Structure formats: C-alpha cells, structure tokens
Amino acid sequence: MKVVGVSACPAGLAHTPMAAKALEKAGKKIGFDVKMEQQGSMGQINKITKEEAQAADFVLIASDQKIQEMDRFEGKPIIRVNITTCIKAPEAVLKKCAKAVKEKK
Amino acid sequence: MKKFFSEAKGHLMTGIGYMLPLIIGASLIVAIPLIIALFCGVQSLDPYAEKTGFFHTLYLINQVGWTGIGLVNTVLAGFVAYSIADKPAIGAGFIGGAIATSTKAGFLGAVIAAFLAGYTVKWCKEHIKLPDSMQQMMPLVILPFFATGVVAVVMGAILATPLSAINTALVDWLKAMSQSGTSQLVLALVLGAMIASDMGGPINKSAWMAGNVLLTEHIYQPNVYINCAICIPPLAYAISTLIRKDRFSNSFKDAGKGNWVMGFIGITEGAIPFTLVKASRLIPINMIGGALGAAVTCLLGAKASIPPVGGIYGFITISNGWAYLVGMLVGALFIAIVAPMVVDFNVDTENEEETLSEEDIDISFE
C-alpha cells in the first residue's frame, strides 16, 4: 500500500509534526509506504509532488482544516481523519483507510 | 447536520490559524512601546498623540500595532470564507469582517459574514450553470458579485443593528465581569481549565480566541488568566521530570527539557506527549492545574492595564507581575506533583497498544 497525506492544525506547531511522524512510523511497522507532508507554521515541509500523489493508493488528510494545493490529488481517493485520532492510533487509522479504499474499489 | 457542524468548525479553525500570526505580531507591537514607556515612568502614551519627541515616536509605533489588532475580524472572516469556497469568497469575507468591525458587530458578526460569503459562493458554484463560453466569468465576476452582494444586504443592512446590539451587550457584560471580584474568579477558573483541557485543540483555542476578541475591545484582564494557564501544563511536566525522575522513562526526560522552552514562551502543546500516556486521568489534572493557577493569579491581584504578552516573561506587562508568576508556579507544581502520583510515565509509548480500535475511528471520503 502506498499512501501520501497531509497533516495540519490551527497553530501548526505540535500536532502537525506529531501526526506526520506517527503515521510514517506506523506505516513502516505494518509495511505501508507512507509519506506525510506537514502544512504547519513553517509552510509546507516534506512536500508531496504530483507524481508521488498520483502513484499513491490513497490520500490521507490528517486535519479538519483547509489544505493547500488539493488539486495535485485529483482523481485519488481522499480520506479525512481527525488529527488527534491520527496521533493516538496511527496504525488503526491506516488499516481502516486501506480497508475502506479496497471496499470502494 | 453533524457533518455540517464539524465542517464549520474546521473552517473556523483555518481562519483562526491564519489570524494567529497577525494577532501575535500586532499585540507585541502594541505592548513593546508601552513597556518601554512604563520603564521610563510614563503610564500612558495617549497624551503624546499630538506632541513630538521620543514618546510620540513610541505612540506612533503603538498605533501601528492597534491597526493590526483592528484587522483581526477582517482577516478572520476572509480566511474562513476562503476555507469554505477558495479564492472567489475571500474578498467578500474581508469586506464582511471589516463591516463587522465598523458596525460593532464584532467577532460574532465577522463569523456570520464569513459563512455567508463562503456558502454563497459554494451554492452558486453548484447551482448556477452558464454556457461554456461564459464559464470564465464565474470565478471572476459572478461568484464575487453574489458573495459580496449577500454580505452587503445581510450584514450591511439587515443584521447590522441587531448584531451590534448583541455584541455591545456581550462586551459590556464581560467588562462588568472583569471588574467585579467574584465573577472575575469564575472567569479565571473557567478560562484556566479550558486552556489546559485539550492543549491547542478547539476548547483551548476558543478560550484563547475569546481573550483576543476582548483585546480588540480593550478588555485585557481575561488574557492574564489565559496567558498564565498556557504556560502551566508544559512547565508542570518539565518540573515533574526533575522532581520525580523515577517515574519517567528516558525519552520523557528528554521531552521534559523541551518543555522548559515551551513553558517559557507559552506553548501548551508541549504537554501533549505526556498527557497522551493516560489522557483520561491527566486531562482532569491538567485542567485543575490550569484553573488553580489562573485563580491564584486572580486572587493575588494581577492586573493588566496594557495588552498582556504571553509566556513567562509576560509578567513585565502586568502590574503585580509577581502574582502572575506565583499563580503559574502553584498551578504547575500541582500538576508536577499529582500527575506522577497517578500515572507512571515509564511506559514505553513506542510499543504500547493503541487505545482506539478501528471501529472507533471516523473517516470520511471527500
């Protein structure tokens, strides 16, 4: 499973990098290739290119906020999950999303 | 309906996210000239408005800060509208926010204007169908026209008077509240608990937002309690890793060092990794600590006559600054002592079982 995603929170200081790291780590553990972009107070960190986006199986948005440059994800299944949930249970989030994407196909 | 509210909350949070740097920059530019003046023994810069010299320069700089604070509603409304419906809505949002300021409809008015602007654009995008040859007119002419038109009619004409009445009443009530002793204490308790509850989440941000909205109305007192409570959770865990070394794993001891900085400059988020170890027990403890600290600050008589600056060093902007520091220390010590008594931070969070199962997680496709 190849996953790209974006995390963002109102202040962009703590939740944003925490969620991104938690998801990437959980991905490694369960054998998913996860790349998370952080849209926090420092702008876009670890930016996802259009090519990477289009090669992914789904897009995970760890935020309930506005995400910049959503157009690069066009045509991909996009899933939104609350950011604190992603910090608390990144593994379960990834597994559930993967399952939901498979069912949708 | 539930989906609408969770979406609306997301838009509001986006707007607040864009407003944060504005308000922090502006309030510092308001405060610094005032602090310099205070050190020179000058209590207020207003008498220097028409004069020349050093204090007049300070006055001019201070006024620029106030211009920034005056933009709060405008920027908030603009970016909430932008969050809902992208570029075509942003102008109408700015206008709505500016109108909210000038008609005294305040924060409430700004939020209503922003949602009007955003959802008008969204509705038009879905329902107005033009022939292909005229499609280019949609984002440039039709959408901004309708959005601004709706804002003008509703905010400018229909709701201006009632909203300004509601807002004025609310501000007067809060003003009275920040002057009387008992309600002041209630205010400190509630704000302190809210700030420490979800550390950077929606509850924390609403309390913080309330403080800043009042700042634009020249009510400074609530911000003293908010700033005090913000420093408490990170400071508490920093202290705790020192006084109860045996209860913390090495990775938490490291995180504790970072929390000295977080506490010093006032970022509640630093306490999140600690709190997540056992949120059900630690959140109530954090809330009691925040409320206790704010209440002690209140009882010892910390008063703000200029816009308070956050962080530990914010005490210089407060008369009876020591009360602010004592309150902060009391709140932080409470958490620092109680938290390691009820929770063992030696657990290795790396390999800990996740507390949420897949069924508990809400996901939504776009």
CB B100 within 8 A of CB B110: yes
* Reported ipTM: 0.75
Note the pLDDT of residue B137. 84
3-state DSSP call for residue B335? Answer: helix
Q: To 10 degrees, the CA torsion angle through B33, B36, B41, B43? A: 30
Q: What percent of chain B has pLDDT over 90?
A: 51
What is the spatial distance between Cα A74 and Cα B228, in angstroms, rounded to a whole number? 45
Give bridge partners of residue A62 from the DSSP assignment.
A7, A81
* Chain B residue closest in CA terms to A99: B358
In chain B, what residues touch A82 (CB-CB under 8 Å)?
362
A90 vs B contacts (CB less than 8 Å): 354
Contact call for residues B59 and B45 (beta carbons, < 8 A): yes
The tokens for B160 are: 């201006």
**Residues of A classed as catalytic:** 9
Give B301 to chain A, closest Cα distance, Å: 31
User: Are the beta carbons of A93 and B361 separated by less than 8 Å?
Assistant: yes
List, for residues B290-305, the tens digit of each pLDDT value.
Answer: 999 999 999 999 998 8
Q: A44 in contact with B at a CB cutoff of 8 Å?
A: no
The domain limits of chain B are 2-167, 178-348
Give the 3-state secondary structure of residue A7.
strand
> Mean pLDDT over residues B343-349, rounded?
76
User: Hey, are the CB atoms on A85 and B356 less than 8 Å from each other?
Assistant: yes
Encode pLDDT of B219-241 as tens digits. 899 999 999 999 999 999 999 99
Residue in the block written with tokens 């030696």 = B346
B125 in helix, strand or coil? Answer: helix
Reported as type and span, the H/E element at residue A62 is strand A58-62
A2-104 — its CATH code? 3.40.50.2300
- Residue B212 at interface with chain A, using a CB cutoff of 8 Å: no
The mean predicted confidence, pLDDT, of chain B is: 89
Shortest Cα–Cα distance, A33 to chain B (Å): 19
What pLDDT, in 10s, does the model give residues B26-70? 888 988 898 898 888 887 888 898 888 999 999 999 999 999 999
User: What is the average per-residue pLDDT within A46-59?
Assistant: 94
Q: State the average pLDDT over residues B154-168.
A: 92
The one-letter amino acid at B231: C
pLDDT of B352 strictly over 80: no
Q: Which stretch of A47-56, B126-135, B145-154 has the lowest confidence by average pLDDT?
A: B126-135
Distance of CA B356 to the CA centre of its chain: 29
State residue A51's pLDDT score: 93
Report yes or no: A105 at the B interface, CB cutoff 8 Å.
no
Chain A nearest CA to B272, separation (Å): 8
